[in-house]
Amino acid sequence: MNLADEMRRILRTAGYSLDGWRHAWREEKSLRQWAAVNLAAWLALAVLRPPLWACALIVAHGLLLLAFELANSAIEASIDYISTEHHPLAKAAKDSGSAAVAVMGLGYVVTWVFALLALS
């Protein structure tokens, strides 16, 4: 594969990612909420100026939280596409995706606690 072909492939893939982001942004209120939390956190980091390691952890954790929310949205969309019937396995899949986001959210809070403790 030559460089031009590889660049076209990368741009095409980036377009798919952007399409996924746009869809999730439109359809998933929780993604918009977590994005707002991230924005507020970045502003707080600029004001509080915790150690660089704490900033890095908070930013990375916040981005991972968005990634988990996107993955959860993908799980939910896939289950809904397959069937609208209520099934215990469908519920388990959706609930597990939601639990993954909740665990990441809890980790985000814990990261903030450590960052704030580092300031004192």
Contact 119, 48 (CB under 8 A): yes
The CA distance from 90 to 74, in Å, is: 13
Instruction: Give the burial string for 99-116 (b: 16+ CB within 10 Å, else e).
Output: eebeebbeebeebbeebe
> Which H or E run contains 34?
helix 29-48
Instruction: List, by residue number, the catalytic residues.
Output: 69
The CA distance from 111 to 120, in Å, is: 15
